[in-house]
Amino acid sequence: MPSFASRLAQTFDEFGGVCMGIDPHPFLLETWGLSNDAHGVREFALRAVDAAAGNVGMIKPQVAFFERFGSAGYAILEESFALARSAGLLVIADVKRGDLSSSVDAYGQAWLTPGSPLEADAMTAVAYQGVSELSGPFELARSAGKGIFVLAATSNASARSIQTARIAEGEHEGATVAASVVRDVTALNTESGLGSFGVVIGATVEVADYGIKSGELVDLPILAPGFGAQGAQVEQARELYGDAVSNTIVTVSRSVLQEGASQIPAELRSLRSQLREQVR
């Protein structure tokens, strides 16, 4: 099984780093003329996957918007993931799972096990209880050729006081919580060059303010929400991430989806062109 890093690198080469989020907000369903129920979400998700195929190399479904419809929502995720795989898209399941070891192991098995109904290429995770508690999902991901992105510096203002707090003791004494996550995840990458494990760093934060040095991000996959509707622009990508822009996954959701399914391909191609200028 090829590593997630190798497949991500191939995607960067072919399509660049633009990733389309699939977030069926109620207002987007209304904009698309769809009902705010499982039927509407299914139509939205499948049309979005079709529109993304061939125009970007990655999608990031926000699982919460599917979970609100219970088992029907999970069935839609299963169908959407299968359609995306058949179209050659990498699927990053935005699930933000985190717990003690045995429980988080089960989360990893659900989202990363080959053949699982919810199999994705990568998942997002939360390390509030420590990155080491995610060891089971990391081991599974490594053996199955999957990826994991751990939240480090997120775009919501209320997280700043926690993520910039300094660690009082231990291996990362004096470092910020965000920087300690970056360093722990970096240590888990055994590949030379681009790794399979990365971090989430929002596009609306100043990386230096979170105690993260730009040199620490080289070869570390960065999942970067916050572009478009949240305020950051793709033209700022290099300014925000420096040389790490070449390994940054620029996620766009509402700003693209609100234009309607027919406009998505052109919007994505335009964003790819803008990001290409930043990576050069």
Question: Residue 235 has what pLDDT?
Answer: 85
* DSSP class of 205: S
Question: Residue 229 has what pLDDT?
Answer: 63
pLDDT at 214 > cutoff 90: no
pLDDT at 42 > cutoff 70: yes
Q: What is the mean pLDDT of residues 69-83?
A: 99
Question: Residue 83 has what pLDDT?
Answer: 98
pLDDT at 7 > cutoff 80: yes
pLDDT at 4 > cutoff 70: yes
Q: What is the mean pLDDT of residues 112-120?
A: 98
Quickly list H helices, 32-147.
38-52, 64-67, 70-86, 101-112, 135-144
CATH superfamily of 4-279: Aldolase class I (3.20.20.70)
Q: What is the pLDDT of residues 53-71, one digit of tens each?
A: 999 999 999 999 999 999 9
Q: What is the mean pLDDT of the chain?
A: 95
- Candidate list 60, 96, 146, 213, residue with the active-site label: 96
Residues paired with residue 249 on neighbouring β-strands, in sequence order: 223
Q: What is the mean pLDDT of residues 257-267?
A: 94
Question: Residue 234 has what pLDDT?
Answer: 86
* DSSP class of 216: G
Q: What is the pLDDT of residues 169-209, one digit of tens each?
A: 999 999 999 999 999 999 999 888 999 999 999 998 999 99
Quickly list DSSP for 118-169: T--SEEEE--TT-GGGGHHHHHHHHHHT-EEEEEEE-S-GGGHHHHTPBP-S
| CA 207 – CA 248 distance, rounded (Å) | 13
Neighbours of 96 (CB within 10 A): 18
Q: What is the residue whose two structure tokens read 């722990």?
A: 184
Confidence of residue 113 (pLDDT cuts 50, 70, 90): very high
pLDDT at 279 > cutoff 90: no
pLDDT at 266 > cutoff 90: yes
- Percent of the chain beyond pLDDT 70? 99
Q: What is the pTM of this model?
A: 0.97
| CA 65 – CA 78 distance, rounded (Å) | 14
Q: What is the pLDDT of residues 215-244, one digit of tens each?
A: 899 999 999 998 876 777 888 889 989 999
Confidence of residue 152 (pLDDT cuts 50, 70, 90): very high
Active site residue 213: no
pLDDT at 51 > cutoff 70: yes
Listed by start position, the domains of the chain span 4-279
